[in-house]
Amino acid sequence: MSGLSHDPSLTPDEKILLWREMVRIRCFEMEAIKYYQGGRMGGWLNVQIGQEAIPVVIRSVMGPLDQVISSYRCLGHAIASGMTMCSCMAELFGKRDGASKGKGGMHSFQSPKTRFWGGYGFVGTQTPLACGLAFGLKHRGERGVVFCCLGDGAVNQGAFHEALNLAALFHLPVIFIIENNRYAMGTSVARSSAMTDCLARRAEGYGMDWDTVEANAIPEFRSKLLIAHRRARDQCRPCLLEVFTYRFEGHNIADANKFKYRAKAEVIDHQSNHDPIQLWGATLVQEGIAREEELEAIRAQAMAEAKEASQFAKDSPFPSADAILQDVYWEVDHQTTAGKTGRHFFND
Ligand SMILES: Cc1ncc(C[n+]2csc(CCOP(=O)(O)OP(=O)(O)O)c2C)c(N)n1
Ligand SMILES: [Mg+2]
């Protein structure tokens, strides 16, 4: 999905597009879960089910130079960026036609073409990288903005605070977005963070603007993001935005404890009453923008696209053994002296 108009009031078609994109993400992840549980994927599978409004709203405000970088909970960001379901699914299957040629899995999703820079497995590591991307934009004189998504579990990492400081000090066009889904693996925000009522207030320590919003309040979320975007792009003023959301699944799909650190009733309440797809769909019907049958047709289309992607992934070959060292170091791929000797960083 490419960026929509910057008018805060969305047209009916744009509203439907947001719903379609959320449904595409949901269908992709549900299809991936099926094959993960069937033993077809290695590593972890961390899905964004319940959090779909976030990647979709971010993409809806993005201009042609803007970039996204996120934590490993990144499949929604990848799909919303315009990466194809086929290349994403094949990557999860570890196949050659995957986005990272099957060598990365879900923690190495990257797509320079769609300006999505991945999916980082080490908590908080994307935050200093976001500063680097933003510094690059500024250095090249490009009026773009970097959207850096992180979890509530990343806000106490040292790297995050260093990143906030640098972003404020160097006036970098970066918007840090805390996807506060209340848990970091099995640890609730209350058990891990001081000042639990508002994580975004940490920005005050760096003289940085901050705000909070509910992910499912899509128009309000989008308006706040548009304000932050304009401020970052036009004045190089960074911002920390905390977005309240909820993950319906466990930390990952192999999380056997998903009802041990939170009550089952809490999960069911969110699935029944706070599902972004259900809520936004109901809004569309209520506003007379779409009929139930039209939404169902969109859902069926998204499911068919996801199934096609899993078939594509099954049919794709595994990478060959001799490809294992390719695309790892630029020096090796380009046959530099360092690449041949293996001494990449120290020359003597
Ligand atoms: C530096 C580091 N410490 C610990 C871990 C183990 N770990 C993986 S995910 C995670 C929780 C992160 O939670 P949060 O930031 O809230 O993101 P969410 O999974 O909720 O999206 C932890 C502690 C890690 N990957 N990296
Ligand atoms: Mg979390």
- As a whole number of angstroms, the distance between CA 173 and CA 62 comes to 13
Query: In angstroms, rounded to a whole number, what is the distance separating the alpha carbons of residues 91 and 101?
Result: 7
Average pLDDT over residues 168-190: 97
Show the tokens assigned to 14: 């744009």
My answer on whether omega of the bond before 119 falls inside 30° of 0, hence cis, is: yes
C-alpha–C-alpha distance, residues 117 and 108, integer Å: 9
pLDDT score, position 175: 98
**Model pLDDT for residues 205-216, shown as the tens digit of each residue:** 999 999 999 999
Pocket (CB within 6 angstroms of ligand 1)? 71, 73, 121-123, 151-154, 179, 181, 183-185, 251
Tell me which residue of 252, 320, 319, 307 sits closest to 86, measured CA to CA: 307
Q: Is pLDDT above 70 for 335?
A: yes
102-144 pLDDT, tens per residue?
998 888 888 999 999 989 999 999 999 999 999 999 999 999 9
pLDDT of residue 163: 98
pTM equals 0.95
298 pLDDT exceeds 60?
yes
The pLDDT of residue 346: 62
Please tell me whether residue 148 adopts helix, strand or coil conformation.
strand
Side-chain-facing half-sphere of 291: CA atoms under 13 Å: 2
Atom of ligand 1 nearest to the CA of 180: 16
Q: How far apart are CA 262 and CA 101, in angstroms?
A: 37
pLDDT higher than threshold 70 for residue 56: yes
The atom of ligand 1 lying closest to the CA of 51 is: 21
Using DSSP's 3-state secondary structure scheme, residue 343 falls into coil
Which ligand places an atom closest to the C-alpha of 47?
1
**Mean pLDDT computed over 58-78:** 97
- Helix (H), strand (E) at residue 157: none
For the chain, list the domains and their CATH numbers: 12-316 (3.40.50.970), 318-348 (no CATH)
Q: Can you say whether the dihedral through the CA atoms of 132, 133, 137, 143 is positive or negative?
A: negative
